[in-house]
């Protein structure tokens, strides 16, 4: 990265670092429909420097398009939406390259989709075509976002087979191994004779050492570490009593407030355990098509079987100590982490040999292993769905009896079903519903979702709101939903942070939102 | 406007609602946008695309290259120019019939009368101090029966919040000051004698070495200054075998940089403008009164109402009770005041109706009251009211001290 780029992108590099940035720069996003919301999504991705974007749209610009779109002006009327928008948006950042496809959706060749890392559909496309596209992309494992805005409402679906995130940035935990010190750590702890230290040195012993020593002497006299609430309380007091002056010894204060780190057992989190039992990495399913992420999980499984724990991340939190004590301790953690990583790489190579890949690891894969070892305790994996609705989701909406719209439990799903009905209404009538279409709108809902039109009051009110305020050009909601959708695209593109799973509904009247899993 | 013609089922004033009046209100209402940065650019765009015609924007800053990853009204050629002026011109060129008046100055430079002309103020700031100032100013105006709603947005990384303040009616910014994450500070003895983190070394260079060696103030926008800070921090770190001092971290620490991206700004700005739109048009109910957004892990929002504090130094009437140890001297009490999350003053001055306890400025008064710092607090004050002020804030906090 040039100096210029690190300066220009400074505020975001602090969130996803250069690894996230290069992933973003290699990404290509496709937007179907050059709507206001779509333009806002692209704006928020072009500014941070997404590599490529493509707009698919065969429509011409009308005055209606200008109403809420900052990137089109009067001069654009009559031009093709895809080309005009592409040109206007490219001006935002010379690092992003834009492309326009002005064919109609059904003319687009199947292979075109393979160019994209992410596809976004904004507002209306023919529901039947959406179904086909969904199936197609799901099979190709290309994530699809469906973003809708109507009046004060907005929804986002994320259609994707599987999400795997290594750098989730979620873990606040430190893996310190106080209960299971490795040999060097044990030796370092033993080298401290707390009683013989002068007062100043005594106040500068890192709490990791204090807790390790306390845990050992407690375990010796109590047949093991504290387990019951009473024992834990006694252990805490035991630690505090070793301080010479608890008001002034910050290190002992920290030891007491971090005392749980001593009696908490170091173990593999259940989420990671379940990943290691995933069928994808069983002997019969593992093959040379297995994605690298799952190869790492398989290697992790062997690592844990061999060494009992996950690779040590090697980060030590700051703690009261003099410089020397702290740096010595920090180096010990770092060295162990480096050794664990080497051992882990051996396991990865073993798995690669099993599946017949003998070309060795690439620099990029080594970099990924680096990140993997630091984050293996907080990996995130979920499976998605290719569906936009389900029986139980519909049931949940129909049975919501909350009538108090200030209440958090108010019927957000009515917005979602209302917006899906809205798109079916356009398909059926070639125009957006208006207030006078209210009865037909309800009828259409019950036809599409094959249910009795006996709706709860909250749904009736929300449907009424949708037909009264049926514009998709209200800029605030377009901008807000565009912001949220682009945030989720960024997570997918950088391969960092946990994205939506998998339906989000925003209510701009109540300024509340909710999410659901289909 | 398509959204205003029909009365929706959630409209709370359906009987009085008048679509034509709402449309007119949008084009006639004068609104002020404070800040033309990440949020400000979005806010100006949103307002002008939703029917607002009379907008003022105020910002004291000029454009920096690190703004370009999100402040989409600025280009490389604009670096160094006034944010307010460039932003106003750009939005005017893209929209029709919208007038945006830029003010290239500090909000504190404008007289009270300036603020009276607005129907609503929308804030997109990164400074707590500026927010406290405008909040207190609007509560003062509320005392003259001029209620100007304040819609405030803020972001940090993937997170943000928007809120609506009706000065003196619901909770104000100062009521919830404890929600603000205080700046990370390190104990002086750690920085001076036992550094462990790269940050400690940078703070040493910044707080101890710079003032010792240089007579000028450190300027984070001066590349020579930054280079010196980085090299000095690095040398310090190396002498203690500490790793991890980088130029990026150095800048992060000395400038107190908060991560920022376009998408979060878009979300929060749009939420603020949605509330402004509902406020002016009455077409739907408003946020009451706080929405927090978090995109760190999936998407999460939480909407709730803050509590108006009766002992809020800005909008409350009650004395604030501050607990003190019997053995404290005045200096220790002042440290307590500085660090309490719901007070957060940097240079407080204290007085009672009987005497000036301590004045941080002007210099003559500081010298005259300095001797009190070492005196025992309980010898100086009984249960009378103590007035605490700070030169940077238009606030006088009324405190009663209770000894433990």
Q: What is the 3-state secondary structure (H, E, C) of A108-133?
A: CCHHHHHHCCEEEEECCCCHHHHHHH
**CA nearest to B149, candidates B42, B342, B288:** B288
Nearest CB partner across the interface for B284, out of A74, A152, A170: A152
Residues B269, A499: C-beta atoms closer than 8 Å: no
Which ranges in B16-127 belong to alpha helices (H)?
Answer: 19-28, 38-49, 83-94, 112-116
Interface residue B39 vs chain A (CB under 8 A): no
Which chain A residue has the Cα nearest residue B4? A469
Interface residue B262 vs chain A (CB under 8 A): yes
B198 touches B245 (CB < 8 A): yes
pLDDT in tens, B165-207: 999 999 999 999 988 877 788 988 899 999 999 999 999 999 9
Give the residue carrying structure tokens 């000036």.
B356
In chain A, what percentage of residues exceed pLDDT 90?
A: 91
Residue to mutate among B261, B276, B302, B327, with most A CBs inside 10 A, is B261
Name the pairing type of β-strands A52-56 and A162-165.
Answer: unpaired
Query: Domain locations in chain B?
Result: 3-179+259-304, 188-254, 320-403
Q: Give domain B320-403's CATH architecture.
A: Roll (3.10)
Confidence of residue A92 (pLDDT cuts 50, 70, 90): very high
In chain A, what percentage of residues exceed pLDDT 70?
A: 99
Interface residue B161 vs chain A (CB under 8 A): no
Residue to mutate among A70, A250, A482, A497, with most B CBs inside 10 A, is A70
Q: What is the largest CA-CA distance in chain B?
A: 75
> Quick one: pLDDT at residue A234?
96
Nearest CB partner across the interface for A484, out of B46, B267, B275: B267
> Rounded to an integer, what distance in angstroms lies between the CA atom of residue A501 and that of residue A517?
6
> Quick one: pLDDT at residue A98?
98
Please determine, for the modelled complex, whether the ipTM score is greater than 0.85: yes
The alpha carbon of residue B40 and the mean position of all alpha carbons in its chain are separated, in whole angstroms, by: 14
Question: Which string of b and e fits B265-296 if b means at least 16 CB within 10 Å?
Answer: bbbbbbbbbbbbbbbbbbbbbbbbbbbbbbbb
Enumerate domains of chain A plus CATH numbers: 3-168+474-516 (3.40.50.720), 183-261 (no CATH), 270-317+343-383 (no CATH), 391-468 (no CATH)
Residues of B in contact with A73 (CB under 8 A): 94
| A502 prior amide bond cis, ω within 30 | yes
Residues A479, B65: C-beta atoms closer than 8 Å: no
> Rounded to an integer, what distance in angstroms lies between the CA atom of residue A315 and that of residue A257?
19
> Rounded to an integer, what distance in angstroms lies between the CA atom of residue A63 and that of residue B297?
39
Whether pLDDT at A235 is above 70 = yes
User: CA torsion A181→A182→A184→A188, rounded to 10°?
Assistant: 10
pLDDT in tens, A243-263: 999 989 999 999 999 999 999
Interface residue B303 vs chain A (CB under 8 A): yes
Nearest CB partner across the interface for A484, out of B68, B262, B299: B299
Given B123, B175, B189, B201, which residue is catalytic? B189
Please state, rounded to an integer, the average pLDDT across all residues of chain B.
93
**Residues recorded for chain A:** 518
Residue to mutate among B11, B39, B298, B302, with most A CBs inside 10 A, is B298
Confidence of residue A512 (pLDDT cuts 50, 70, 90): very high
Beta-carbon contacts of A88 under 8 Å, excluding residues fewer than 6 positions away, are: A71, A72, A76
Nearest CB partner across the interface for B46, out of A169, A464, A479: A479
pLDDT in tens, A463-493: 999 999 999 889 999 999 999 999 999 999 9
> Rounded to an integer, what distance in angstroms lies between the CA atom of residue A465 and that of residue A153?
9
Q: How far is A313 from chain B (nearest CA, A)?
A: 16
> Quick one: pLDDT at residue A3?
52
Residues of B in contact with A49 (CB under 8 A): 69
Q: How far is A319 from chain B (nearest CA, A)?
A: 8
Is B172 part of the annotated catalytic residue set? no
Extract the runs of DSSP E, i.e. beta strands, from A186-245.
none
> Rounded to an integer, what distance in angstroms lies between the CA atom of residue A81 and that of residue A100?
9
Residue range B3-179+259-304, CATH number: 3.40.50.720
pLDDT in tens, B37-73: 999 999 999 999 999 999 999 999 999 999 999 999 9
Residues B66, A7: C-beta atoms closer than 8 Å: yes
Confidence of residue A224 (pLDDT cuts 50, 70, 90): very high
pLDDT in tens, B287-321: 999 999 999 999 999 999 999 999 998 998 888 89
Confidence of residue B134 (pLDDT cuts 50, 70, 90): very high
> Quick one: pLDDT at residue B157?
96
Which chain A residue has the Cα nearest residue B266? A483
Confidence of residue A453 (pLDDT cuts 50, 70, 90): confident
Confidence of residue A122 (pLDDT cuts 50, 70, 90): very high
Residues of A in contact with B69 (CB under 8 A): 8-12, 47-49
pLDDT in tens, B210-246: 999 999 999 988 889 999 999 999 999 999 999 999 9
Instruction: Fold for B188-254, please state it.
Output: Arc Repressor Mutant, subunit A (1.10.10)
Beta-carbon contacts of A136 under 8 Å, excluding residues fewer than 6 positions away, are: A110, A113
Q: How far is B52 from chain A (nearest CA, A)?
A: 12
Confidence of residue A403 (pLDDT cuts 50, 70, 90): confident
């Amino acid at each position: 990265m040039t100096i210029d780029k690190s300066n220009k992108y400074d505020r975001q590099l602090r969130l996803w670092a250069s690894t996230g940035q290069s992933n973003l720069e290699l990404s290509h996003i496709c937007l179907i429909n050059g709507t206001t919301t779509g333009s806002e999504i692209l704006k928020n991705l072009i500014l941070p420097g997404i590599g490529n974007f493509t707009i698919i749209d065969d429509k011409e610009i009308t005055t209606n398009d200008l109403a809420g779109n900052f990137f089109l002006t009067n001069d654009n009327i009559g031009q093709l939406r895809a080309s005009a928008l592409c040109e206007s948006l490219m001006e935002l950042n010379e690092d992003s390259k834009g492309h326009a496809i002005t064919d109609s959706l059904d003319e687009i060749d199947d292979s075109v989709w393979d160019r994209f890392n992410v596809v976004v559909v904004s507002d209306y496309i023919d529901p039947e075509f959406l179904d086909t596209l969904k199936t197609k992309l799901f099979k190709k494992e290309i994530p699809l976002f469906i973003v809708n805005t109507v009046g004060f409402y907005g929804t986002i679906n994320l259609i994707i087979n599987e999400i795997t995130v290594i750098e989730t940035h979620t873990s606040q935990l430190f893996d310190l191994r106080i209960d299971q010190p490795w040999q060097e750590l044990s030796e370092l702890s033993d080298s401290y004779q707390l009683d013989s230290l002068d007062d100043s040195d005594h106040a500068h012993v890192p709490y990791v050492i204090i807790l390790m020593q306390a845990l050992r002497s407690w375990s010796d006299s109590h047949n093991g570490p504290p387990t019951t609430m009473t024992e834990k309380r006694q252990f805490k007091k035991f630690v505090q009593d070793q301080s010479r002056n608890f008001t002034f010894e910050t290190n002992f204060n920290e030891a007491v407030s971090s005392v749980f780190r001593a009696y908490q057992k170091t173990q593999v989190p259940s989420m990671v355990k379940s990943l290691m039992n995933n069928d994808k990495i069983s002997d019969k399913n593992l093959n040379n098509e297995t994605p690298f992420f799952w190869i790492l999980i398989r290697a992790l499984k062997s690592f844990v079987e061999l060494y009992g724990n996950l690779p040590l991340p090697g980060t030590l939190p700051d703690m009261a100590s003099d410089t020397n004590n702290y740096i010595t301790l920090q180096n010990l953690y770092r060295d162990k982490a480096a050794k664990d990583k080497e051992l882990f790489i051996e396991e990865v190579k073993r798995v690669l040999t099993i599946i017949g890949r003998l070309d060795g690891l690439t620099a990029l894969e080594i970099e990924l292993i680096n990140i993997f070892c630091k984050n293996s305790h907080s990996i995130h994996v979920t499976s998605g769905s290719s569906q936009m609705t389900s029986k139980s989701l519909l049931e949940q909406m129909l049975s919501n009896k909350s009538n108090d719209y200030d209440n958090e439990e108010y019927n957000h799903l009515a917005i979602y079903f209302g917006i899906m009905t809205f798109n079916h209404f356009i398909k059926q009538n070639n125009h957006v519903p208006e207030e006078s279409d209210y009865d037909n709108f309800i009828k259409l809902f019950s036809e599409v979702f094959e249910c009795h039109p006996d709706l709860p009051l909250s749904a009736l009110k929300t449907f009424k709101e949708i037909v009264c305020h049926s514009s998709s050009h209200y800029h605030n909601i377009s901008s807000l939903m565009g912001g949220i959708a682009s945030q989720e695209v960024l997570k997918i593109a950088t391969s960092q942070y946990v994205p939506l799973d998998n339906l989000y509904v925003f209510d701009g009247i109540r300024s509340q939102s909710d999410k659901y899993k289909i | 406007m398509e959204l205003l013609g029909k009365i929706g089922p959630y409209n709370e004033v359906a009987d009085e609602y008048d679509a034509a009046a709402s449309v007119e209100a949008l084009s006639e209402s004068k609104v002020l946008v404070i800040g033309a940065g990440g949020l400000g650019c979005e806010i100006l765009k949103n307002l002008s695309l939703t029917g607002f015609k009379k907008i003022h924007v105020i910002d004291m800053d000029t454009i920096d290259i690190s703004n370009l990853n999100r402040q989409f009204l600025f280009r490389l050629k604009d670096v160094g120019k006034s944010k307010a002026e460039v932003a106003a011109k750009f939005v005017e060129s893209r929209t029709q019939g919208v007038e945006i008046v830029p003010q290239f100055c500090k909000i504190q430079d404008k007289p009270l009368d300036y603020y009276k002309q607005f129907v609503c103020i929308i804030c997109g700031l990164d400074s707590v101090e500026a927010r406290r100032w405008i909040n207190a100013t609007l509560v003062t105006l509320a005392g003259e029966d001029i209620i100007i709603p304040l819609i405030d947005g803020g972001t940090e990384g993937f997170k943000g919040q928007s809120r609506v303040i009706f000065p003196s009616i619901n909770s104000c910014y100062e009521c919830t000051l404890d929600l603000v994450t205080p700046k990370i500070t390190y104990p002086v003895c750690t920085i001076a004698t036992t550094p462990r983190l790269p940050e400690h070394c940078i703070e040493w260079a910044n707080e101890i070495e710079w003032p010792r060696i240089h007579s000028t103030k450190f300027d984070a926008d001066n590349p020579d200054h930054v280079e010196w800070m980085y090299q000095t921090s690095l040398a310090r770190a190396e002498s203690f075998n500490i790793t991890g001092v980088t130029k990026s971290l150095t800048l992060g620490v000395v400038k107190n940089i908060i991560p920022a991206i376009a998408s979060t700004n878009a979300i929060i700005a749009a939420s603020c403008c949605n509330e402004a739109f509902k406020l002016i048009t009455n077409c739907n109910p408003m946020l009451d009164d706080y929405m927090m957004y978090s995109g760190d892990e999936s998407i999460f929002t939480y909407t709730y109402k803050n509590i108006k504090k009766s002992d809020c130094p800005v909008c409350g009437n009650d004395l604030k009770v501050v607990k003190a140890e019997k053995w404290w001297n005045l200096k220790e009490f002042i440290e307590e005041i500085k660090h309490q999350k719901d007070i957060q003053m940097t240079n407080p001055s204290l007085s009672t109706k009987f005497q000036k306890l301590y004045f941080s400025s002007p210099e003559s008064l500081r010298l005259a009251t300095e001797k009190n710092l070492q005196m025992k607090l309980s010898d100086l004050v009984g249960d009378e009211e103590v007035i605490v002020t700070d030169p940077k804030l238009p606030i006088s906090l009324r405190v009663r001290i209770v000894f433990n």
